[in-house]
Chain A
């Protein structure tokens, strides 16, 4: 794991405080979507398929900060849309860093070099660019439906690193991903000098029969087991090692849909970052009135059946770490040895 010690400490002490306070449900990462606009049009992306008047809308910085304060999570992830297209992104990041929130700006990096040269951001231990890369050049350009994006993203990463910024990558993998090519991708990212990588299976909702469901889950386990087998010492992942073990099929968790709550121009999204079943006006309303028992694998909800995505299961892994000495020991062991 490649998280800075200060960030690990901030998250750990936050979780312990929540447990001591007896809070049953608490957020870890706020997914803050200030806009839906994007300079890519990736096939199947549900975030950008809206009428024009919705794509033109964005949150104000004050709305964003109110949501951050209301939620209280120690980490704020800014996806979108493309956050570098948000007109006040520089001010928003500055305000969040001033609040000592750990900020991940999730970007396709097409505009990264330009925005860095414009002096929009200042390096900070609280601030990291999380560059979306779904693999090496061929795979990534195919995933985002445009040639040349990988090269632009790598140029942006190099420029950010040169200027002293924290840079991580985030990769979504679907059926058909090559474990071998992904291992080459990990090597390539590490050689660029990124701080760490985040990986997650894509979300596929299907009304497939049970047999197919089994194969889907099993395929995901096979993919991640092969990909992460005998991990190289130099690979660094910016996520819980227990979550990686979950992806490999070595552990089983239940979903924690309130762990990464989502706020956007529609309000607080029910129940999670992926499913849109409605919106609440306040975070408290989201927590209190969402029927959480209807979500997660055990609920029998077919929309949750095949889901193994980080926004639901990484909070479960973090919770497990602090739920028992054994969980803590397993996390430390995997972190120290680099084996999953």
Chain B
């Protein structure tokens, strides 16, 4: 897992430069809740765990904020997807943890060497 920038808070504008399929793929990879805005104006918030663009009628599947589901929603019903929930993967990579641990060790070393213990003969 890398420390790639999070999509948290992103509200994509689907258009010529960004397809619905691309946004669905990003929502599928996203480790947080999203808000799915439908073409009829209604919204569904929850975790998007599945998508199938190869199906005869492409669809996504979600568990809502109460964990109920799966709710199946067809691509053709989706206007856009907001990345509304906290990205639970952000900053949690192994590399980030190693950096934090090394920083803590360095702080510990400098504290021990900062004279907090009186020098001999003082």
Using CB atoms and an 8 Å cutoff, list the residues of chain A in contact with chain B: 41, 43-44, 46, 49-51, 53-54, 56-57, 142, 145, 174, 266-267, 278-279
Q: Given A56-B67, A145-B97, decide whether A46 and B1 contact each other with a Cβ distance below 8 A.
A: yes
> In this assembly, does B39 line the interface, its C-beta being within 8 Å of a C-beta of chain A?
no
Please choose the segment from B13-21, B86-94, B114-122 that sits at the chain A interface, where 4 or more of its residues have CB less than 8 A away: B86-94
Q: Given A53-B63, A53-B67, decide whether A43 and B49 contact each other with a Cβ distance below 8 A.
A: no
Contact of A279 among B33, B61, B64, B101 (CB under 8 A): B61
Q: Please report the C-alpha to C-alpha distance between residue A259 and residue B1 in the assembled complex, in whole angstroms.
A: 24
Q: Please report the C-alpha to C-alpha distance between residue A50 and residue B85 in the assembled complex, in whole angstroms.
A: 11
Check A266–B31 contact: CB distance below 8 A. no
Q: Given A43-B94, A56-B67, A145-B97, decide whether A278 and B50 contact each other with a Cβ distance below 8 A.
A: yes
Q: Which residues of B contact A51 (CB under 8 A)?
A: 31-33, 47, 85-86, 88
Q: Please report the C-alpha to C-alpha distance between residue A145 and residue B99 in the assembled complex, in whole angstroms.
A: 12
Closest to B98 in A: A43
Check A44–B92 contact: CB distance below 8 A. yes
Q: Which residues of B contact A278 (CB under 8 A)?
A: 28, 50-52
Q: Given A266-B49, A278-B51, A279-B50, decide whether A43 and B93 contact each other with a Cβ distance below 8 A.
A: yes
How many whole Å from B45's CB to the nearest CB in chain A?
A: 10
Interface of B is mostly: mixed
How many whole Å from A232's CB to the nearest CB in chain B?
A: 31
Q: Please report the C-alpha to C-alpha distance between residue A49 and residue B96 in the assembled complex, in whole angstroms.
A: 15
> In this assembly, does B66 line the interface, its C-beta being within 8 Å of a C-beta of chain A?
yes
Q: Which residues of A contact B89 (CB under 8 A)?
A: 46, 49
* Complex A-B, nearest 8 residue pairs according to Cβ-Cβ distance, in ascending order: A43-B97, A44-B94, A53-B67, A49-B88, A43-B94, A49-B89, A279-B50, A49-B31
Closest to B88 in A: A49
Q: Which residues of A contact B67 (CB under 8 A)?
A: 53-54, 56-57
Q: Which residues of B contact A53 (CB under 8 A)?
A: 46-47, 63-67
Q: Which residues of A contact B66 (CB under 8 A)?
A: 53
**Other 4 A-B pairs with CB < 8 A, given A51-B32, A278-B51:** A41-B92, A43-B93, A43-B96, A54-B63
Q: Which residues of A contact B96 (CB under 8 A)?
A: 43
Q: Given A44-B1, A44-B94, A145-B97, decide whether A50 and B88 contact each other with a Cβ distance below 8 A.
A: yes
How many whole Å from A292's CB to the nearest CB in chain B?
A: 14
Check B50–A267 contact: CB distance below 8 A. yes
Check A57–B88 contact: CB distance below 8 A. no
- Contact flags (1/0) for B21-44 with A, using CB distance below 8 Å? 000000010011100000000000
Q: Which residues of B contact A142 (CB under 8 A)?
A: 101
Q: Which residues of A contact B33 (CB under 8 A)?
A: 51
Q: Given A49-B31, A267-B50, decide whether A57 and B63 contact each other with a Cβ distance below 8 A.
A: yes
Contact of A44 among B32, B49, B64, B93 (CB under 8 A): B93
Closest to B94 in A: A44
